[in-house]
Each structure stands twice: as structure tokens, then as C-alpha cells.
Amino acid sequence: FFFLMIRRPPRSTQSRSSAASDVYKRQVHGEPCEGCWSNDPEYNLNYVVQLVQEAKTQGLHVGIYSSWGSWDATIGLNRGSPVLQNLPLWYAHYDGVPSFADGLYTFGGWTQPAIKQFKGDQTQCGVDVDNSWYP
């Protein structure tokens, strides 16, 4: 699966970018990019839907990586799309608990996640990693 990372940019960079490569870079590098998102949540939702649709036409299996706060800041908690809701959700909540019991995946229309990232910025064998869990 290729997971599109939906993260809020730093508060100082709330402008948008129409380049799909920006989202790809954010997924690969895990860092917010300069000017990736519009101030218009509906525009952002449509942008993500278009990216997903294009990835599917290219034969990619797609999922969404986000958190409650990032989805809210970028798209809006209650805003979603049937195109996205059928995708696996990998959500981040750094509570140190490897389970879905926190319920912080009920945004954008998802009712069940696929993966939870529960601990970040760990070093294992000299490599920086984030810990994720799935049943």
C-alpha cells in the first residue's frame, strides 16, 4: 500500500500547492512541506480525492495516513468522501498504547482503522523509527 500522508503544515505555511509531488515527498520524508494546503477545507478534500483516484488509475493500492488533529486542520473532522472512506486508515496517536481503544480514528467518515502509530521518535538499532500497531 502507498499511504498518502495528510498532515497540517506549520501555522506559518497555510498556503496551497497543486503539485502532487509535494504530497508524495511528505509521505516519503514524513515532514510538512511549504505551502501544501489551501485555507479552504473543501478544496483540500477534493485535492486528496483526485490524488487517490489518479493513484488508483496507476494501479497503486492506496491508504490514508493522518491524525485527528491533522485531518481537522486540513480537511475538517466531519468532512470526508466515499472514495476515501473505503481506503485503509493509518492514524497517529502517540499515547504509547498499541490498540484502537482510544477511538481517535473517527474522523473523515472512517469507523475502523487499519493501523495505529502509537509511539514516535524512537531509536532502534541506531535508526530513528515510529512504532505502529495493527491487529
Catalytic residue among 31, 34, 42, 54, which? Answer: 31
Distances (CA, A) of 127 to 49, 102, 120: 33, 28, 12
> What is the spatial distance between Cα 87 and Cα 6, in angstroms, rounded to a whole number?
14
65 is written with which cell numbers?
Answer: 495516513
CA dihedral defined by 117, 123, 129, 134, rounded to 10 degrees?
Answer: -40
Quick check: helix, strand or coil at residue 1? coil
Annotated catalytic residue 34: no
Q: Among all residues, which ones are annotated catalytic?
A: 31
